[in-house]
Chains A and B, each alone.
Chain A
Amino acid sequence: MTDYKKPLPAISTLNGPYWDGLKQRELKMPSCNDCGKLWYPPAPFCPECWSRNFTWRQLSGRGTVNSWVVFHQAYFSSYKDDVPYNVAEVELEEGPRLLTNLVGIANADIVIGMSVEIVYDDVTDEVTLAKFRPTEQ
């Protein structure tokens, strides 16, 4: 775990609760207590009504594949052994879309619209990434 060489998130005051949530196996996003809007990426006020009165709400972790790509070029040396690897954009049940990697599926089998669910990947002692796998039928 300590020899993880891939890029790690820049954790800030803004997105700290998001990464803390993943570490605790909870997918959390800011949700407005005034108008109900839920948003991502984290922002310090509701993009709908500008309220600062929000809470970090736990989400279901379920969604569908909105689009996806396969990297054939290793832009990072740490990804050299992974190419061709996928990156997908998952649309969560609650609305926001997340970039992620799909696991437990061959790239050739990925289809837009397929149902997926979250998998927590502890890549270092501090960082847990949100990845997604096909939903068990």
Chain B
Amino acid sequence: MAVESEHWVFYFDPNRCIGCHACSVSCKQFHGRGSDTDDWRTVTHHQKGTYPDVEDVPLSMSCMHCHDAPCEKVCPTNAIEKRESDGIVTINRDDCIGCKYCGWACPFGAPVYGDDGLMSKCNMCLGRGPGGGADVEDTPKHELEDQVEPNCVSDCVGEAIKAGPQKEIIEEASQAAAERFRSGAVANGRVIVEPLQDSTSAVDGSVGGTKEVTTPYNAGD
């Protein structure tokens, strides 16, 4: 198994996120998913304070392709696979029985339950559409031929999201973000997040926890 540092991770910089939802829209378009289906990538807006002392911070989240992948562990049919080569977590829909365990286990509400009775989620654009990527050979994404950059990354207006092997992404991150990631302080070490500048708000802290990050409208249930 490839070491964790070779595994793909997402990076998010809330300082550059302008809350425009382009990432979310582009994800759905790329994967040919209807407007009314739940988002694989969600943007939420976290507000606190009273006018004029208001803070309103946007957060863009998707499946984190966790190193410890709780969803994979609970899946009774082994439909969920964490790829050894690049750590991308895929769902094989032939084996999915729609029991929603992964949705409950996932701290981010990333797997979503579809009208077809099956789960689906972000596959880092390893393949297209629900279940995409499950049949792709287990060679690191960056070594596969004809692979595209995750669509949310290439369409992010604020250039707030990045994705790639952890050791590369961490090099591009600020020292503070890298340290927080290594110490597991942010989202249990699942996503590299830049600290929110000029802010000591609870909103920033919430990225480190898992509570507010769970996106209410696309949780597994």
A, B: real partners: no
On A, residues with C-beta under 8 Å from B are: none
On B, residues with C-beta under 8 Å from A are: none
